[in-house]
Amino acid sequence: MHRVIYQLLKSLTQEDKKTAGVYLDFVEDSNVDNDKSYIVYSLQSSNPKYEFEYSRDIYQVSVYSTSLEHALTLQKKIGKYFNSLKKKIDNIEICGCDISNESPFSYR
């Protein structure tokens, strides 16, 4: 499943120079866990990085961009694809973030 999600995100952002990265935040409901399943997808590798850990449902897909407007447009595009995966993936929330307000370790 990780590879499928990576390929989908990569194809959507392939020619997009403004997108810095995409992450998926796996949590159950909105409660933060200690189960070590927080996954960050860079667009350079299909291997997810387990940097923080929560539970197993995809809760959030965030797009980092130099332009907030661009991130919001891209999130809608990604959202169309994820809508068809709702039977497999629950609790999907898609957010756009202005990268100028984010540090490499600040994901929210």
Predicted TM-score (pTM) of the model is 0.38
The domain tally of the chain equals: 1
Q: Identify the helix (H) or strand (E) that includes residue 6.
A: helix 2-13
Q: Is residue 51 situated within a structural domain?
A: yes
Residue 97 has pLDDT above 70, yes or no: no
Task: Give residue-wise pLDDT tens across range 56-82.
Answer: 344 455 565 666 677 667 767 766 665
Measured distance CA(72)–CA(94) in Å, rounded: 9
Residue 61: domain span: 2-101
Domain containing 7 — which CATH number?
3.30.70
Measured distance CA(42)–CA(74) in Å, rounded: 16
Q: Is residue 108 situated within a structural domain?
A: no
Task: Give residue-wise pLDDT tens across range 3-36.
Answer: 666 666 667 666 666 665 555 554 433 343 344 3
Across the chain, which distance is largest between two alpha carbons, in Å?
Answer: 36
**pLDDT value at residue 69:** 73
